[in-house]
Structure 1
Amino acid sequence: MYKVLVVEFTRRSGMDTVTSLNWGSLGFTIENEAHTTDNALALLSSKSYQLVLINMVGMPEEGLALCSRIRAESRVPILLIGDGTNFQLARKAMYYQVSDYLPAPLCPDELSASLQLIRRKLDAARPVEREKQAVESAATDISVIDKVKEYVTEALSQNITLKEISNILHFNCSYLGQKFKYHENMTFNEYLLKQRMEKAKALLESTDLKVYEIANEVGYSEMDWFYKKFKSYTGVSANEYRKMMSITA
């Protein structure tokens, strides 16, 4: 069901038709009613609606002002009920890209037809909106993952944990770990090990630093642990790797 906010500034023509209509059969439900501009805007900011129906018979300027305020923040469909003899008012309403303008006294068939058209447009927009949300979510995830990788690069010589990074980025550690694995096809610890070993290899190839100095550069204070990890990663010891690279250079 699409949720509707009904706004009527005063009890005027058309509201009996509105309230007596079988909204559910048309795919809508009247969620809330508002009687002032401030009340309507407060509801719109705190809840999600798929349609705003404004009865501005007798208070056209108030109704148009509300349309203007809504359009400044939202593209939610707006259905207006106004004076049927005031064509200038109808033209002004179109400026705010309202979905429809129905003249009072309100005809039930016209209201029903208008709602059916609005529903078809809402139905058609649903897949597009879901795709847009998915794209935005993916972009946000990628941005966060990039921040994690940037932190690893900058702090590679330090003791790095995903929990520490999660606290810095204000994320749940388990959630961030799942997102990282999804986007990088490896766990955070696997990524961290790869970055450390690849930097160690680069330092062994391009510098005269001693092995213990290189171990410190890539975050290992215990040499035995560094030797074990490096050999497991490359298949040879750090010294053997340096000799191999100097021969092939």
Structure 2
Amino acid sequence: MAKIDEIAPDLFRISVYVPDYNMQFNHFLVRDEEPLLFHAGLKRLFPALREAVTSLIDPARLRWVAWSHFESDECGALNEWLQLAPHAEPACTLVGKLVNADDFAIRPARGLTPGETLTTGKYRFRFHRSPHIPHGWDAGVLFEETQNTLFCSDLFHHFGDVAPLTSSDLIGPTTEALAQLRQGPLAGYMPYTAKTEGVLRALADLQPASLAVMHGSSYAGDGGQLLRDLAGVMQREFDVA
């Protein structure tokens, strides 16, 4: 079952908790003139997600289906959404378009370049490249400039069936999750490179007022400080050398 929460005006968090992983998979619908879905979701979750979206808009009206990096929970059900919504267009990084999306998707993707904007009507999304943050050289994030929301994908990943929105510091649960993911079969979950801190600090300089988090609670508050704190946590957890 998908749970729906409006975490900001016209921004709906659609969450499915998977007990086997003790983890939420979150998808974000922006209800506007050109509706946008951030995270297409896993194929097996598509029926539940379609039902949830249908309760909010006519899913055939979807205009944009966007994601951060090419991974099954980000875009596994992309083609199911494109078949349902005849005018929907995939949107991802230019690298993602060239190396993944245009071969995988039934329609060509819009490849976003640094600083490019995507407008849905009332809301304006600016694209920021974030290679290998959280995963993959094709990674990027969207910053909605009207309400100052950063769609940050797997950044601030934490476990549990948690609240849809919090103003509590996410650093504690994120640190625990990263320490767990650094060990065992999931080692290598996220790299730390010479550019990691610079990318995170550039995102912090956007001063997001909210963070739309893929796995775990979304956040309302000083997102800039949280991103600066995350840079230090990632260095400690992943720069093992």
Q: Does TM, scored on the shorter chain, surpass 0.5?
A: no
Structure with more contact order per residue of length (Cα contacts < 8 Å, sep ≥ 6) = 2
Structure number with larger C-alpha Rg: 1
Q: Please tell me the TM-score bracket, short chain as reference.
A: under 0.3
Richer in strand (by share): 2
Richer in helix (by share): 1
